[in-house]
Amino acid sequence: MDPTSTIFSFLSLLLFGSATNFNRDLPSESCRFPAIFNFGASNSDTGGYAAAFIQLKSPNGDTFFGMPAGRFCDGRLIVDFTGGIYASLMPREETFSKALYTFDIGQNDLTQSLFLNMTIVQVIAAIPDIVNHFSDIIKNLYNLGARSFWVYNTRPLGCFPKILTSFPLAEKDSVGCAKPYNLLAQRFNVELKNALARLRIEFPLATIVYVDLYAALYSLYTHPTKNGFEHPLVACCGYGGKYNYSEEAICGGKISVNGKNITVGSCKDPSVRVSWDGVHFTEAANKFAFDLVSSGDFSDPPIPLKLACHPR
């Protein structure tokens, strides 16, 4: 995981109400984490990158916040749904061992390598080092007192409008995604899952959950209409080409069209779209994915998010 792309997000958290009967072997008491520490790139960044480097413009944030709120999205991210929308805070020292540590990793490590002209074979060869570095981060956090880890795998990269536009000759799968890049993501996810399994053996007092975000999101491409979505491979906020994406037409930016400067704006209804700007997801897609993965149905071990403080 590239440390330069890691964002520290602090959210207060009041998790859920009554316990679920998901698994009789699980404890009945719901966790009440005093804080979330989120490590991830821009799909889970609640404002660190924007605060440090760029000022996002409308229509980012318009769906929920009514204005740009530091998120590359029309509204909320998965981490927002995880913690609820509360005032951000800097947790007290005593909350660190009781906090939930969430990770949303892999996307930048893989895509940045591809856009540095590395071949897929070269990127695959680098995956063990990436995963080993991530494992070291988990170990370091454990040694500092962290005990509850909720780790998302990487998304279906081959379905991103940016990837489809940048690599137009790539073989497509049955839903139109770029097959080699999804296979790359799957390869990373297998390595990540195996690494987390090893960490669970090494740290039996911790809860280390692998969350298959890839599978949850891919269902939006295989059955978009069934799930209330449309045009899943087309960016909502963008301009140009088959996938409504261009490097020269950044969401909220200005471009020249037929001699006139226009603002790159949102599609009519982001709530039925999957991709926000070709790289990031809409609030609707984030909410859909969160609802699926928080149940534990996409997790290994199959622990619901509200019970992620209990070792297993």
Within the chain, strands assigned E span 7-11, 36-40, 100-104, 148-152, 207-211, 254-257, 260-263, 299-300
> What are the CA-CA distances from residue 143 to residues 107, 139, 207, 312 (Å)?
26, 6, 14, 19
Give kind and range of the element (H or E) at residue 179. Answer: helix 179-202
Of 101, 175, 100, which is closest to residue 137 (Cα–Cα)? 101
> Strand, helix or coil at 229?
coil
The owner of tokens 């988990």 is 138
- The gap from C-alpha 166 to its chain's centroid, in whole angstroms, comes to 21
Which is catalytic among the residues 113, 280, 294, 299? 280
The owner of tokens 């413009």 is 57
Would you call 291 a catalytic residue per the annotation? no
Cβ within 8 Å of residue 124, ≥6 positions away: 184, 187
Q: Which amino acid is at 25?
A: D
Phi then psi dihedrals of residue 150, to 5 deg: -125, 105
Which is catalytic among the residues 45, 62, 80, 277? 277
Angstrom distance (rounded) from CA 216 to CA 205: 28
Which is catalytic among the residues 42, 148, 266, 299? 42
Angstrom distance (rounded) from CA 292 to CA 285: 11
DSSP H helical ranges for 53-178: 78-83, 107-114, 120-143, 161-166
Would you call 166 a catalytic residue per the annotation? no
Would you call 133 a catalytic residue per the annotation? no
Angstrom distance (rounded) from CA 274 to CA 213: 14
Active-site residues, by number, are: 42, 277, 280
